[in-house]
Structure 1
Amino acid sequence: MFSKLSRSLSLLLVLSFFFSGDSFSQSARKKKYVINGYVGGYRGTPVNIDEIDANKLTHINYAFVNCIDSMAVLSNLKTDTVNFRLLNQLKKINPDLQILISIGGWTWSKNFSDAVLTPTSRLLFAKTSVNILRQHNLDGVDIDWEYPGQRGDNNKFRPEDKVNFTLMFVELRKELDNLSTETGKKYLLTAALGASKNFIANTEMDKVAKLLDYLYLMTYDFGGPNGTVGHHTNLYSYGQGGTSSSADQAIQDFIAAGVPAHKLGIGVAFYGKAVDAAGVENNGLGQERVRPIAGTPSASSGQAGGYTKLKESVINQNGYTRYWDKQAQAPYLFNPDKKVFITYDDEKSTKLKAKYVKKHKLAGVFFWEYFSDPEENLLNVLDKTLN
């Protein structure tokens, strides 16, 4: 059995026989829309690039680089450096592919507020971030601060985060421009942003948007309004009055805050989330959400997972029935015996998100996380719809 990498290289060799020069690689693979996949290295394990289909991606965000003592730090230095080398090999298949480091994430956002507090600390953070690109021949920096001006995962935060968030990008852009002067190459500056009105209120999005190439709205990990069971990655708002969070509402809010549509990307969840419902009415949707007791497994524990797992062993199996919410344009599963509700993206909702990108002239899509759907069910939809 050939690996995906081996098959792709073989195909490239065959096609190069028929196409002269590198005009084929530069034109046939160039995509109009961003398809950006997060590839996780935060566990400290090597990335298996044989399982990554480089031709279906425009960007890879390597997650994550830590932020410690006002510096960008490779906490898994040994595997991170190996992974950078391996990911760069994918450019042999897709020369247009760009590899970025993503700094932060839910767990490693604790020190951002301190790191960008003063001109000196911001300069140090920017220089150490860009030095990682310089040392490993990478293509850009993505910031995933969860969240400026908010507690997040019990993070330190302060009112100054609002302005300092902007000043951080100013400094990063200066350092990236310095690197461009050295190499003659353009480097990307992007950010993953909380898809909420609170995030907008705690930032200066009109100023930030001028500094960034792309702004990726994390249109997942939503929850039902007012403590109810609801969707986590729905395209449209739902419920009475349509007041829930949604990708569409987030896009509208960020555009109103001064972000150009052509710089915005929406998130596709390659994983599901399982929650416990108090009742079975309406197949769990809109019921009171039962919060698990700390240290005690609940019925929903371990019931979700990546989309490949859901498709192979959960959807319309083992007591779970699939339903479609027309208002939210999102699927969900419900097991009435366990009172477990699972919210996720599938092929249908993913295609609708991709069509939304085209209709509203957005930059494209991004997704968390590549290896949550190793069968590429959802990536195939994105590739086909956005080509």
Structure 2
Amino acid sequence: MKFKKLIGYCFTDSLGDMKAEDVRALDGVNIAFGLIGKGEIYWKEKNGKRDIARLKEINPKLKIVLSVGGWAADGFSQAAETEEGRTKFAESAARLIEEYGFDGIDIDWEYPCSDKAGIRAIPEDKGNFTLLLKALRSRLDTFGEYKLLSIAAGALSSYVEHTQMKEVAGILDYVQLMTYDLYGEWDSVTGHHAGLYSGAGEGASSDAAVRLFASAGVPFEKLVMGAAFYSREWKGVQNSKPGSPAKKGGQTHTYDIIVEYLETGKKNYKKLWDDEAKAVYLYNGDQFVSYEDERALQYKAEYVKEKNMYGMMYWEYSLDKTYSLTQFLRKQLDK
């Protein structure tokens, strides 16, 4: 069995706060986010070179990648539409790599052919997405030292339908599945937002996403399982079982806040476990909170090893102020 990678997304402003022991535990850091303006990638940073130098000093083997995009980040469809646009986009990526010493580029286009996030979308995005990645790969290959190219992929069937994953997989080093936000406050019923398996009445799950992308032509050894360091919440829930009707959405909590609630008894949450989904959640008679704890993450790590996947990634470093989950995942993947 190959060594399993651990990749952490980290906001630009949180890079300087990364703990040395966590940096040593990671194989990669995806910096969130580079954005697109006038067809080119740009990165808003204050101390980028200093922060990157510090991380590399702590862990010289660490791969630091600039993730481009994110929810509601526009510009991908426009840049990918023409050969000229794709070349311009790829050249801007190369300039940033040269300036900051990035080890690669991660594309987080949410999502090709979809305007859900308020971005421009056209049917041609499907093929243009592949062409954009080809242009990037071609430009990155001109560097003397190999540069990584990855994507963050929506973990639902609509993403596979609107992309050419078999061809895309041949271009990329790995595909990071966003196996979280599978259910959320936008749904009228509760659910496990990052559950490993489908629970009663559920369809979406991390396992379902892995099988979906594998069947679409992505080798298991190029698939990365996503983990969430935050929760999704519903209010007005009269039943503790997942799939129960909810009156409205609630807040998103960071992992450390959930730990604080459990330790202090605030909000009177009871911690519950769904053994079918291998997922943890909280309930207090009104609020249902879906999240991931060490037990749930252990099952995900075991799954990754059993399937011989590339590894795991998580969103996002600053959402765990207990600074415990990164090292926990490292230990589980190394077992």
Coarse TM-score class (shorter-chain normalised)? over 0.9
SS in 2 for 1:53: helix
SS in 1 for 2:141: helix
Question: Aligned to 1:285, which of 233, 236, 242?
Answer: 242
The 5-angstrom pairing of residues 55-134 of structure 1 reads 55-74=24-43, 76-77=44-45, 79=46, 82-108=47-73, 110-134=74-98
Question: Aligned to 2:233, which of 270, 274, 287?
Answer: 274
1:367 aligns with 2:324: no
Assess, with a 3 A threshold, how the Cα gap between structure 1 residues 316 and 363 changes in structure 2: closer, same or farther. farther
* TM-score, length basis structure 2: 0.94
- Which fold has the larger relative contact order, with Cα–Cα distance below 8 Å and residues 6 or more apart in sequence? 2
Task: Tell me the equivalent position of 2:261.
Answer: 313
SS in 1 for 2:120: coil
1:228 aligns with 2:159: no
Determine which structure has more spread, i.e. the larger CA radius of gyration.
Answer: 1
| Alpha-carbon distance, 1:238 to partner | 1.4
Structure 2: distance between partners of 1:155 and 1:291: 26
- For the 8 Å contact 1:347–1:377, the answer to whether it is kept is no
Structure 2: distance between partners of 1:46 and 1:286: 38
**Sequence identity percentage:** 35
SS in 2 for 1:63: strand
- For the 8 Å contact 1:231–1:330, the answer to whether it is kept is yes
Structure 1: distance between partners of 2:253 and 2:20: 18
Structure 1: distance between partners of 2:15 and 2:147: 25
2:245 alignment partner AA: E
Task: Tell me the equivalent position of 2:275.
Answer: 326
Structure 2: distance between partners of 1:234 and 1:85: 37
- For the 8 Å contact 2:20–2:58, the answer to whether it is kept is no
- For the 8 Å contact 1:51–1:374, the answer to whether it is kept is no
Structure 2: distance between partners of 1:50 and 1:366: 17
- 1:45-104 superposed Cα distances (whole Å, 9 cap, x missing partner): 773244662111000000000011111012x24x1xx13431232222222101000000
The 5-angstrom pairing of residues 26-65 of structure 1 reads 32-41=3-12, 47-50=16-19, 53-65=22-34
1:280 alignment partner AA: Q
1:253 aligns with 2:222: no
- 1:340-379 superposed Cα distances (whole Å, 9 cap, x missing partner): 1111000000011000000000000000111111322221
Structure 2 regions of 5+ residues with no counterpart? none
SS in 1 for 2:260: helix
Structure 1: distance between partners of 2:50 and 2:170: 31
Structure 1 regions of 5+ residues with no counterpart? 1-30, 293-299
Structure 1: distance between partners of 2:223 and 2:164: 15
1:382 alignment partner AA: L
Single out whichever of 216-225 and 189-198 deviates more from structure 2. 216-225
- 1:323-351 superposed Cα distances (whole Å, 9 cap, x missing partner): 00111110000121xx1111100000001
* TM-score, length basis structure 1: 0.82
SS in 2 for 1:162: helix
Aligned length: 331
1:335 alignment partner AA: N
2:217 alignment partner AA: G
Question: Aligned to 1:186, which of 126, 146, 149?
Answer: 146
Single out whichever of 250-259 and 222-231 deviates more from structure 2. 222-231
Structure 2: distance between partners of 1:144 and 1:138: 16
